[in-house]
Structure 1
Amino acid sequence: MILTKKLLKLSFTALFLFLCNVNGFTQIPKKLPVQPKKLPLHKGKITSKKSVTDTVKKKTDSTSKKEEKSYAELVKKATTIKGLFKVHQVENDYYFEIPLNLMEKDFLVVNKISSVPLALNESGVNKGMNFDNRVIRFSRNKAAKTVWVKVIVPQVESPAGDAITRSVKDNFTGSVIESFKIEAYSPDSSAVVVKMNKVFDGTEKSFNDVFNDMGLGATPKTSLSAIEKIKSFPQNIVVRALMSTRVMDAGISVPISITVTTNILLLPEKPMKPRFADNRVGFFSTPRWYFSDAQHKLETRELVTRWRMEPKPEDRARYLKGELVEPVKPIIFYIDPATPPKWRKEIIAGVYDWQKAFEQAGFKNAIQAREVTDTTDYDGDDVRYSEITYAASPKSNAMGPAVVDPRSGEILESDVIWWHNVMTSVQYWMRVQTGIIDPEVRNNDVSDQRMGHAIRFVSSHEIGHTLGLKHNMSSSASFPVDSLRSPAFTNRMGGTASSIMDYARFNYVAQPEDKVTNITPQIGIYDKYAIAWGYRWLPAEDPHQELPILKEWIKVHANDPLYHYGEQQQAKNIVDPRAQSEDLGDDAVKASRYGLANLKRLIPQILTWSAPEGDNYYQAGKLYLAAIWQWQTYAEHVTANIGGYYLENPVSGDGKDAYAPVPVKIQKGALGYFKDQVFTMPEWLFNKELLKKTFPIKDTPIGPMEYAPLNLRREYQYGLLYSLLGEDRLLRMLEMEVQFGKENVFTVGELFQDIRPVIFAKTLKGKTLSITDRMLQQNYVDVLLVSTDKMLEKITKKSLFQTSLNNLPQTCDLGLNQEETDLNHAMENNINPSANLRNIYVTAMTRTSEVAAAKRGELLQILTLLENNKNRGDEATKGHYMDLILRIRQSLQTK
């Protein structure tokens, strides 16, 4: 696990910026053939324009004699390839011949990982990930005889004729990041020749600072770093280089070599017409500012990230009449030749599943997937081609980042990263969630047919991200729980939710007697609607002109839950219980009870399913832990209702409220489930026959960890209690009390009054406590003590900063490891999780809030209760009471 600990300790932002497509952006060639027999790589010349600039036209012979001689000497022993720029290789030196007519044009630099050592592979860094993409411009400095490179942030726009445009140009200039000496001019003086080695071989970090972008804080060793090859095509240059360094890990110097492929891509002269985002439809977006003389204030917009999908000019009249037409340029994904052949069909099917969504937008044959039939010249790192990259890695995940032109939001290229081990997660989902109703997924090795079907849905989900779609975590709540038990409903609606962009895995609600067979997520009503909203072509030239039409499309379905978009939230701080990960149906309590019924049936079968004769019990232990995680997940789904708000993004006239507290009846029902399942964890979950053969087992970097069952009970119960009494939840309940009135909400006081008599029921009756009774009371008191101490740290410890477990970034793991903070899906979505996930900020000045008073008040109530009963029960019970009394007194500093 070399460097695993180091990478896990990286700042969230550093690793996020490395793996995420921060500034967006790449391009596929406009003339890519629709059905090539083999994948072509263009190697032809760029056709020269008939005229260069006037300056070059009028250049006198006397200015270039020496330079022409220099050019002739430079290329004499060079190997030259032609394309966007001519590239001259002289031994280990590489020269770009940059045409002057491409000076001041917008280029996109896209850096991609092409190979990694085991140390980084194990940490989830793999081939295909792009990082630190940026827009640049080349600029000739004649006086200094250099070419400068400026980085541009194309976020600002203003009308060419407006006076303010002069100010825009002065206040949003590019920054110079590199300078190259002009080595020579081309014979006709239409291009300059510069030596480019230093920005690719690790000498300079202006184009590529991979080790710092990863958070390793290292500098390439130039003696161990080098350019491996360069290719030049009509629209882009591809440079592959090996970067090497050493990193200290636990006192050991570890060698690290990464291959990075840098693409320099010429962006379209005319950017795609953007579409303005609306937070009622879940698309990723890129910011845009509009300045003009007529404004009263700056106009800020978000541009939808989407592919350029346009009907051919000759088809536009038919398109506008409602006929299906083919787009000018379809979206094409190539399947990595490293993909195991038996999974290619299902991965391809997951791509084509989106065709029905594009048909709703008016396009046929809009999205395609192809295998690479000739790998001779194939290069998956060439940004003209989108690839589903297969990564041999122990990581259990998948991601779909896109490369975006920030000037317009146009998706130019995308690479789905498919980790081989994602099948491990898929297998456990199927076995735990549907093994009771589907005999074919019960064994350690499920059938290829079932695995292929699951791979197809994961492929569809990731392709949805590459099309610009965010997670829609509320789509599962659009289905009534009991409808998920209906074969007719699930066949008609398709699977488990109205959108495949939810994390609505497999149908754990259906019971064996229901005979439901359509149990896998599929592209649904919301997905087709969202693609139509984002991709339907409109003839307006100005995106502002589209706004009334786009709003009307939303208005038509505004009150239909099947079309509702629920923004993703922080996993440890769910505000809207309808928009959760891994849940099903519109009633968390009912859905979870159905899930528990299936889990109760599953636990006794684990040995039969996972330990055939002659095998050890390792797989049984892993399946057992997965089942316990599923139990925990149900409890979390239910708990989110307590102190929850229903969140909307209303507009004037739609009659919706932005914030509505979850009804009191639902909150109290959720607490009732919590009492049943968490205060007294079910004995069937800790099956004695199963525990004779194996404890729950979790794989770790240092080997399998076997969880002792009592310790596991304590750990899971404590975590759920801590969540139930978390600051954010209680602060939201206080907000509701003030805003809606005490009589209309579930209050913090009522919560404690409902909890205490249950936790101390035997104490109040003077009974002896079992070890699990004592554990519950210890956990409850400790949660109150720890959370109170955290709130009061600024008073008692004079600490300037405070970390809250509730403010961790969103965990979006495709795998079953709920204990890791997984960045991958946040990264695939090109979002900063901590900044953009939906939340309600309530945690300012918590040390002065009613929460501190409520928790201390509860501790005083418990102290009195314990004092009155400290001499009742057996010796273990009495010792337990004294321990709690001493802890509370010490914390509250009472005598």
Structure 2
Amino acid sequence: MIWKKVLPLTALCFITTAAVHAQDKNKKDAPDSTPASTLKSYQTLFKKAITSKGLITVHQVGMDYYFEIPLVLLEKDFLLVNKVSSVPLAINEAGVNKGMNTNNKVIRFSQNKQAGTVWVKTIVPQVEVPAGDAIAQSVQDNFTGSVIENFKIETYSPDSSALVIKVNKVFDGTEKSFNDVFTDIGLGTSARTALSGIEHIKSFPQNVVVRSLLSTSVTEGETTIAVSVAVTTNLLLLPEKPMQPRFSDKRIGYFSTPRWYFSDTQQKMETRELITRWRMEPRAADRARYLRGELVEPEKPIIYYIDPATPKQWRTYIIAGIHDWQKAFEAAGFKNAIQAREVTDTADFDGDDVRYSVVTYAASPKSNAMGPAVVDPRSGEILESDVIWWHNVMTSLQYWMRIQTGIIDSAARTNQFSVEQMGNAIRFVSSHEIGHTLGLKHNMGASAAYPVDSLRSATYTAKMGGTAPSIMDYARFNYVAQPEDHVTAITPSMGVYDTYAIAWGYRWLGDTINAWQELNSQQQYINDHANNPLYHYGEQQSSLNIIDPRAQSEDLGDNAMKAGEYGLKNLERLVPQIQAWTTSQGENYYQAGKLYMAAIWQWNTYTEHVMANIGGYYLETPVLGDRKKAYTPVAKTLQQQAMAWLQKHLLALPAWLFMPDLLSSTFAVKDSPLGPFECGPYDMKREQQYGLLYSLFSDERLLRMLEMENIYGKSKVFAVADLFKTTRSSIFAATLKNAPLSLDQRLTQQNYVDVLLVSTDKLMEKITKKTLTPPALTQHLPQLCDLTPRALQNHAAAENAYNLRNIYVTAMARTSGVAAAKRGELLNILQLLEKHKVNTDEDTRNHYLDLILRIKQNLKLN
């Protein structure tokens, strides 16, 4: 059912649940039955008050704060926005910093006249219904708000146009209804009211800003840590008329908010996702010019303010990253649509005020950045956005540049980069994060549009710009280019997909068109670009379970095997240079150990890129008529090519990566809360190879391979049996020749057998029931960046992958062919070991006997 057919355009009038409830406001107000004796005198109460006038007049009397709420604002939609304003060291280290948005909710103030109180209800404005439909009454009954707070009416304004309530309890930590920061940031504690309080409240024409200091304590073991957090709460009046929404399309990457449509003529409820975007409209006087195709300025440009705490040398580069989006908005018909400003008057500037979108600079050891937004859930309108810029993000940039481009760029080899070198990298991160604040999701599939060999071309990279057609990919620096190529455009930059995505999301289509009528126009715009790989959108996937090998983090080009080969050539050149690049006379080898760890993880990353081709599918979101397939297995020849690469670089560990000369000075160093860990090479080999092999033989991968074998037949795909046979013949090649095994060869065989043993045990574990959380009660956190190189990540942290694209293949996996394949492989290995366990040296013989014993115990063979 197409919604635009419910009513003719002239009669179509959508009303939200807010409007359904508001219909009662047309009725004559009942008299206030609050006993006059319970009300205080307005003049007496505020005789010595400090008053701030604005949307809501705020009175401060000593330590008490009062809201004077105009009656016309009752039943209006407010957005309650809570932000962190300052943090102590204890949670700074955990990545909680100034500027982070902890919790938003839509609320309404309602007067309970008989009780003499004001109720605050929170609603989920997710439903629309045509005015006058019979089902509107049911919508009202089934989507009501929930009361979260109650205030006593203290008095009325002298002209009776406003009521007065005391608001201390919702901001000073007494109640959690408006602000539950310690739960939101994961501490799960309550504020200690004796150590908490309101610092100030300011009122402005469209919002009220409240800053509070809330204190708690957290006990871990025998240690109790005091934690005080400053929180700024914004109470923002939402627009009376919501912005016209635009429906999302899964073929282009925008964040979205859900919307449900009901009507009498439906045979099922209509569901849509509204993209999140700024309200970008031409001025009334310019609208005819805009529709003729002329560039015009928007009625309200997007303005980002640079945090005054930002070091001066980086400001111009952050601003340049913001201005990079100017050309994209010009494709949508707007000039000067996005602007950046430095704060010149700090006395009147509050970065936590939702009137300002701010690039907030956070002094923190965390190496990251993110760009969340405050969104009107009724329409998807972005009301305010912030970029949280952690100071230590430069650590990540430096490791990427040194590891990925140090061989082709001499400026990227030192411990301390020039301002220009670091500034250009900061610019790309700024552009990427601003893209998120404009509503764009990661496009992890963009980099696959560039042929690998083209990334070695100085003319191609200069023409196309950077490493991918989208800044929203995690296409880092150009590790493909070789020294003889003389490529200089090696940093990610804005691309054609970014311009295309902004044009699709922000083009203004006129006053007389509604969202349903926009649908066909917007779909046609995507159809016109659908067969050009430069405009391909690849949904982000869980890094623990990559399905589409084109849409990976930190990969480059259209062929991971070829790109990885070039990357390893540069990495092999780099490893002997680590000491020279990091250590000066009289210095220790800490920096060398850190860079060495980054080099090992870069090898790991290239291997993962290749491995994703095994059992991989190319994922599309087809529509009728585009002749695309939703699931296409990676070609058998490409999977065989990937397997050959893995045999060369994973099943046989690269000797050059573990150089005795370097190891005599430093092991690979990994930082931890307990200090640096110096990881021995044998341990690193076991850990890295084991993790990769475990992923290669994961149940999900094998089940996907069985799915394709089921559809296309075993002869036309790279089958599970092919994977096991190729791996076994490679890992046990020396065994088949009765040759003694080196330590590395024994290590690889142990890893392979143990992966099969452990994964088989897990596969056969009893399936336990899990409690399902109703979708309406699930908090969907924003999709945020992780700019931390893998060498610096905490891999113990769980990944929130519920909103990433996945293919469900794991139901009752123990009854699938996976268990049979893994156990069959163990029996094949057992037979091989039994045959060759005698004719070899003592170390190899002991190794075989150990593997035989492990397999027999696991399979319960006597």
Q: TM bucket by the smaller chain?
A: over 0.9
The SS at the match of 2:250 is: coil
Q: Is 1:813 aligned to 2:786, yes or no?
A: yes
1:839 corresponds to which residue?
A: 806
1:750 corresponds to which residue?
A: 722
Instruction: Name the CA distance, whole Å, in 2 between partners of 1:552 and 1:296.
Output: 27
**Partner amino acid for 1:734?**
L
Q: 2:346 aligns with which of 370, 375, 387?
A: 375
1:787 corresponds to which residue?
A: 759
1:640 corresponds to which residue?
A: 612
Q: 2:107 aligns with which of 112, 118, 136?
A: 136
1:80 Cα deviation (Å)? 1.1
C-alpha distance after superposition, 1:47-73 (max 9, x if no partner):
xxxxx99968x979x999868861111
C-alpha distance after superposition, 1:473-517 (max 9, x if no partner):
010000000000111111110010000000000000000000000
1:240 corresponds to which residue?
A: 211
- Confirm or deny: 8 A CA contact 2:480 2:563 kept in the other structure: yes
Instruction: Name the CA distance, whole Å, in 1 between partners of 2:370 and 2:468.
Output: 21
**Partner amino acid for 2:678?**
E
Q: Is 1:889 aligned to 2:859, yes or no?
A: no
**Partner amino acid for 1:717?**
Q
1:411-430 correspondence to structure 2 within 5 Å: 411-430=382-401
- TM-score, normalized by length of structure 1? 0.90
**Partner amino acid for 1:851?**
V
The SS at the match of 1:76 is: coil
1:161 Cα deviation (Å)? 1.3
C-alpha distance after superposition, 1:320-363 (max 9, x if no partner):
11110000000000000000000000000000000000000000
Structure 1 runs of 4+ aligned residues shifted over 3 Å read 52-56, 62-69, 798-802, 809-812, 817-824
2:585 corresponds to which residue?
A: 613
2:242 corresponds to which residue?
A: 271
1:12-161 correspondence to structure 2 within 5 Å: 70-161=41-132
C-alpha distance after superposition, 1:386-410 (max 9, x if no partner):
0000000000000000000000000
Instruction: Name the CA distance, whole Å, in 2 between partners of 1:404 and 1:287.
Output: 12
2:493 corresponds to which residue?
A: 522
1:181-192 correspondence to structure 2 within 5 Å: 181-192=152-163
Structure 1 unaligned regions, length at least 5: 1-51, 803-808, 827-831
- Confirm or deny: 8 A CA contact 1:203 1:220 kept in the other structure: yes
Q: 1:73 to 1:661 in 2, by over 3 A?
A: same
How many residue pairs match? The answer is 827
Q: 2:819 aligns with which of 852, 856, 862?
A: 852
1:363-512 correspondence to structure 2 within 5 Å: 363-512=334-483
- Confirm or deny: 8 A CA contact 1:322 1:362 kept in the other structure: yes
The SS at the match of 2:263 is: coil
Identity of aligned residues (%): 68
- Confirm or deny: 8 A CA contact 2:39 2:154 kept in the other structure: no
Q: Which has the higher contact order (CA 8 A, sep 6+)?
A: 1
Structure 2 unaligned regions, length at least 5: 1-24, 772-781
Q: 2:598 aligns with which of 604, 616, 626?
A: 626
Instruction: Name the CA distance, whole Å, in 2 between partners of 1:134 and 1:775.
Output: 54
Instruction: Name the CA distance, whole Å, in 1 between partners of 2:408 and 2:846.
Output: 48
The SS at the match of 1:835 is: coil
Instruction: Name the CA distance, whole Å, in 1 between partners of 2:103 and 2:74.
Output: 22
Instruction: Name the CA distance, whole Å, in 2 between partners of 1:811 and 1:89.
Output: 39
Q: 1:801 to 1:776 in 2, by over 3 A?
A: farther
**Partner amino acid for 2:763?**
M
**Partner amino acid for 1:454?**
A
Q: 1:120 to 1:338 in 2, by over 3 A?
A: same
- Confirm or deny: 8 A CA contact 1:68 1:187 kept in the other structure: no
- Confirm or deny: 8 A CA contact 1:644 1:732 kept in the other structure: yes
Q: 1:812 to 1:237 in 2, by over 3 A?
A: closer
1:173 corresponds to which residue?
A: 144
**Partner amino acid for 2:728?**
R
2:13 corresponds to which residue?
A: none
Q: Is 1:561 aligned to 2:533, yes or no?
A: yes
Instruction: Name the CA distance, whole Å, in 2 between partners of 1:648 and 1:69.
Output: 66
1:744 Cα deviation (Å)? 1.0
- Confirm or deny: 8 A CA contact 1:305 1:410 kept in the other structure: yes
The SS at the match of 2:125 is: coil
The SS at the match of 2:51 is: strand
Q: 2:846 aligns with which of 856, 859, 879?
A: 879
**Partner amino acid for 2:95?**
G
Q: Is 1:329 aligned to 2:300, yes or no?
A: yes
Instruction: Name the CA distance, whole Å, in 1 between partners of 2:86 and 2:836.
Output: 66
The SS at the match of 2:686 is: helix
The SS at the match of 2:397 is: helix
1:822 Cα deviation (Å)? 7.9
Q: 1:63 to 1:281 in 2, by over 3 A?
A: closer
Instruction: Name the CA distance, whole Å, in 2 between partners of 1:816 and 1:63.
Output: 62
The SS at the match of 1:834 is: coil
- Confirm or deny: 8 A CA contact 1:811 1:823 kept in the other structure: no
Instruction: Name the CA distance, whole Å, in 2 between partners of 1:779 and 1:822.
Output: 20
Instruction: Name the CA distance, whole Å, in 1 between partners of 2:158 and 2:31.
Output: 12
Q: 1:701 aligns with which of 660, 673, 691?
A: 673
The SS at the match of 2:852 is: helix
**Partner amino acid for 1:332?**
I
1:788-803 correspondence to structure 2 within 5 Å: 788-794=760-766
1:834 Cα deviation (Å)? 2.7
Q: Is 1:303 aligned to 2:274, yes or no?
A: yes
Q: 1:810 to 1:69 in 2, by over 3 A?
A: closer
The SS at the match of 2:320 is: helix
**Partner amino acid for 2:789?**
L
Instruction: Name the CA distance, whole Å, in 2 between partners of 1:783 and 1:823.
Output: 19
- Confirm or deny: 8 A CA contact 2:83 2:231 kept in the other structure: yes
Instruction: Name the CA distance, whole Å, in 1 between partners of 2:791 and 2:807.
Output: 23
Greater Cα offset, 375-384 or 885-894: 375-384
2:316 corresponds to which residue?
A: 345
- Confirm or deny: 8 A CA contact 2:371 2:784 kept in the other structure: no
1:817 Cα deviation (Å)? 3.5
**Partner amino acid for 2:758?**
V
Instruction: Name the CA distance, whole Å, in 2 between partners of 1:333 and 1:190.
Output: 37
**Partner amino acid for 2:744?**
T
Instruction: Name the CA distance, whole Å, in 1 between partners of 2:463 and 2:156.
Output: 67
1:215 Cα deviation (Å)? 2.2
Q: 1:821 to 1:267 in 2, by over 3 A?
A: farther
C-alpha distance after superposition, 1:593-651 (max 9, x if no partner):
00011001101111111012221111111111111111110000000000000000000
Q: 1:512 to 1:812 in 2, by over 3 A?
A: same
Instruction: Name the CA distance, whole Å, in 2 between partners of 1:870 and 1:557.
Output: 61
**Partner amino acid for 2:719?**
T
2:12 corresponds to which residue?
A: none
C-alpha distance after superposition, 1:542-578 (max 9, x if no partner):
1000011001101111100000000000001000000
Instruction: Name the CA distance, whole Å, in 2 between partners of 1:665 and 1:589.
Output: 12
Q: Is 1:678 aligned to 2:650, yes or no?
A: yes
**Partner amino acid for 2:814?**
R
Instruction: Name the CA distance, whole Å, in 1 between partners of 2:423 and 2:718.
Output: 46
- Confirm or deny: 8 A CA contact 2:362 2:389 kept in the other structure: yes
- Confirm or deny: 8 A CA contact 2:370 2:784 kept in the other structure: no
Q: 2:659 aligns with which of 668, 687, 691?
A: 687
The SS at the match of 2:282 is: coil
Instruction: Name the CA distance, whole Å, in 1 between partners of 2:468 and 2:698.
Output: 30
1:765 corresponds to which residue?
A: 737
- Aligned Cα RMSD in Å? 1.9
1:658 corresponds to which residue?
A: 630
Q: Is 1:552 aligned to 2:535, yes or no?
A: no
1:710 Cα deviation (Å)? 1.0
- Confirm or deny: 8 A CA contact 1:273 1:408 kept in the other structure: yes
1:195 corresponds to which residue?
A: 166
- Confirm or deny: 8 A CA contact 1:484 1:585 kept in the other structure: yes
1:816 Cα deviation (Å)? 1.5
Instruction: Name the CA distance, whole Å, in 2 between partners of 1:54 and 1:213.
Output: 40
1:818 Cα deviation (Å)? 5.1
